[in-house]
């Protein structure tokens, strides 16, 4: 299975700009678990932390607003987490910290630059 996965990965074309844009469409909601766990680490019960995070997440999704800005304005959150602590939870690199090691273990150390897709050059607003 590892060999099959490795051969699939070798032919995979990745477009980092598109990936980043897709992640940003979530308004930061992908970081909700980290916020939940940080609140629990600060002594908030799991139930209360879930309720606070879920309420802000739903508001961010429904109103197309930044999850981080909603959290920064919520006194229930700021009673436990500083602005710096919140911002540090919204770090994409946290999820990528082992990616080089994983690729190396799969024998996928050679990176190739992929040309920007034609559709992105011709109609970036359509994506």
pLDDT number for residue 71:
98
Closest CA to 42 of 54, 34, 32: 34
pLDDT the model gives residue 6: 74
pLDDT at 100: 83
Structural domain boundaries enclosing 118: 2-126
d(CA 7, CA 85): 40
Q: In this structure, are residues 29 and 60 in contact, taking their beta carbons and an 8 Å threshold? A: yes
CATH number at residue 99: 1.10.40.30
Q: What is the pLDDT along the chain (127 residues), one digit of tens a residue?
A: 777 877 777 777 778 888 889 888 899 999 999 999 999 999 999 999 999 999 999 999 999 999 999 999 999 999 999 999 999 999 988 988 888 888 788 777 765 555 555 555 555 555 5
Q: What pLDDT shows up at residue 124?
A: 56
- Per-residue pLDDT at 70: 98
Give the span between the Cα atoms of 45 and 57, in whole angstroms.
18
Of 48, 49, 19, give the one whose Cα is nearest residue 34. Answer: 49
Predicted confidence at residue 67, as pLDDT, reads 98
Residues 6+ apart with CB under 8 A from 56: 67, 70, 71, 74, 77
pLDDT for the residue 44: 98
Task: Tell me what pLDDT residue 81 has.
Answer: 98
Count structural domains, the chain.
1
Return the closest-CA partner of residue 52 out of 70, 26, 28, 66: 70
- Where do we find the tokens 């940080």? 38
């Amino acid at each position: 299975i590892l060999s099959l996965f490795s051969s699939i990965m070798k032919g995979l074309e990745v477009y980092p700009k598109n990936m980043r844009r897709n992640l940003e469409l979530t308004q930061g909601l992908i970081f909700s678990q980290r916020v939940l766990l940080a609140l629990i680490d600060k002594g908030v019960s799991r139930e209360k932390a879930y309720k606070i995070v879920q309420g802000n997440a739903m508001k961010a999704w429904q109103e197309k607003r930044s999850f981080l800005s909603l959290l920064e304005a919520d006194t229930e959150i700021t009673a436990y987490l500083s602005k710096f602590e919140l911002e540090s939870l919204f770090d994409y690199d946290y999820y990528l910290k082992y990616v080089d090691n994983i690729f190396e273990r799969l024998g996928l150390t050679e990176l190739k630059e992929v040309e920007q897709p034609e559709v992105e050059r011709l109609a970036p607003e359509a994506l």
